[in-house]
Structure 1
Amino acid sequence: MTGAADRVYAHLGKWAPLYVWLLVVLIALGRTFYLSVNVSNSLPGKLFLVHKGAMPQLGDMAAFRHAGGGGYEAGALFLKRVVGVSGSIVTAKDAGAGFRDYFVDGRFVGRAKPVSRSGEPLKPGPDGAIPPGHYYMAADHPDSFDSRYAAVGWVAQRQIVGKAYRIF
Structure 2
Amino acid sequence: MSAPAASRRPSVLARWGMIGLLAVGIASHNSIAAWQESHSFMINASESLPNWAFFVRAGKEPVKGDYVFFVPPAGDLVNRHFGPDQGPFGKQVIGMPGALVEHRGEWVFVDGVKVARMKPRTRFGEALHPGPTGVVPRDCYYVGTDHPDGFDSRYAEIGFACRKAILGTGTPIL
- How would you bin the TM-score normalised by the shorter chain? 0.7 to 0.9
CA-to-aligned-CA distance 1:109-129 (integer Å, 9 cap, x gap): 111111001111111101111
Equivalent residue for 1:8? Answer: none
CA RMSD in angstroms, aligned pairs only:
1.8
Match of 2:78 among 71, 74, 82: 71
Q: How does 1:49-88 map to 2 (within 5 A)?
A: 49-69=55-75, 70-72=77-79, 73=84, 76-88=87-99
Moved over 6 A (4+): none
Specify the SS of the correspondent of 1:158: helix
Structure 1: stretches of 5+ with no match in the other structure? 1-26, 95-99
Maintained 8 Å contact 2:78/2:157: no
Q: How does 1:13-28 map to 2 (within 5 A)?
A: none
Q: Distance in 2 between matches of 1:120 and 1:138?
A: 20
Match of 2:169 among 138, 144, 163: 163
The CA deviation at 1:74 is 7.1
Q: From the two aligned structures, give the one with the greater helix fraction.
A: 2
Q: Distance in 2 between matches of 1:157 and 1:74?
A: 20
The CA deviation at 1:30 is 2.3
Q: From the two aligned structures, give the one with the greater strand fraction.
A: 1
Aligned partner letter, 1:77: P
Q: Which moved more, 1:102-111 or 1:63-72?
A: 63-72
Task: Report % sequence identity.
Answer: 39
Equivalent residue for 2:131? Answer: 125
Maintained 8 Å contact 1:68/1:75: no
Structure 2: stretches of 5+ with no match in the other structure? 1-31
Maintained 8 Å contact 1:66/1:74: no
CA-to-aligned-CA distance 1:84-128 (integer Å, 9 cap, x gap): 01110001011xxxxx21010011111111100111111110111
- What is the total number of aligned residue pairs between the two structures? 138
Q: Distance in 1 between matches of 2:96 and 2:87?
A: 22
Equivalent residue for 2:26? Answer: none
Q: Distance in 2 between matches of 1:40 and 1:114?
A: 20
> Which structure has the greater CA radius of gyration?
2
